[in-house]
Amino acid sequence: MGNAVCKGKTPKLPKKRTPCVMLVGGSGCGKSALAQQLVYHEFPTDHQPTIVDGYEKHFVLDDFAARISIVDCGGSDEYVKEINKYVEQASGLIFVVDVTNPDSLDAVNSKYTGLLALRPDVANLPKAVVATKTDSVDRVVSQPDITALAAHWSCPHVETSAQSYDDVEAAFRVLVAKLVPEAAPDGP
């Protein structure tokens, strides 16, 4: 058995000036693993279905430090009501694609359509596409497929593995860099 403990907390609605990054993607695509590696440097080997979990992470950029809240949304549609409460608070979106599962491309597309229906201005929020599980020999979603999706949404894409920790922080940094101007400085 692996580490099946869910490390996230039920998120408080973020304070107005704390930018909130929402992790969006199908069930099992690796959202919680990315959040847990980023914040705790722990990799969950088991899939514990998430409803909605909250994390906070302090980022230091070139000349700015900021605290960012991260909302990890369960991929299953049965939790959609719980998750929708947090959509209003999102300042940026990370779409997570599992490169071992071709359905995960459809999943992010349909989740985005759902978000747009709830809150049309999510179209204007900073976004990133994060391809994860790149350590796996079972990769079936190619890099050009991911690049095409990111080009469609005019946003950057990052290739990661939560398991090996490759570029996990970079996956968040590409988005945080765009959110920092609205962040309150995280000083004493």
28 contacts ligand GDP (rule: CB under 6 A)? yes
Among 3, 27, 84, 147, binds ligand GDP (CB under 6 A): 27
> 101, exposed or middle or buried, with CB in 10 Å at 0-12, 13-18, 19+?
buried
135 contacts ligand GDP (rule: CB under 6 A)? yes
Contacts of residue 94, defined as CB under 8 A and 6 or more positions apart, other chains included, come to 21, 22, 23, 24, 127, 128, 129, 130, 171, 172, 175
Of 32 and 101, which CB lies nearer to Mg ion in the complex structure? 32
32 contacts ligand GDP (rule: CB under 6 A)? yes
Dist. CA 183–CA 46, nearest whole Å = 34
Using CB under 5 A, which residues numbered 42 to 81 contact Mg ion?
Answer: 50
One DSSP character per residue, 33-71 reads: HHHHHHHH-----S----SEEEEEEEEEETTEEEEEEEE
Using CB under 5 A, which residues numbered 6 to 35 contact Mg ion?
Answer: 32
Dist. CA 4–CA 156, nearest whole Å = 31
- Contact region with ligand GDP (CB under 6 A), list: 43-51, 58-66, 107-115, 143-151: 43-51
Question: Least distance from C-beta 82 to ligand GDP, angstroms?
Answer: 15
Letters for 46-85 (x = contact with ligand GDP by CB under 6 A, - = none) are xx--x------------------------x----------
CA atoms within 13 A on the CB side of 107: 24
Contacts with ligand GDP by CB under 6 A lie at 25, 27-33, 44-47, 50, 75, 132-133, 135-136, 161-163
Contacts with Mg ion by CB under 5 A lie at 32, 50
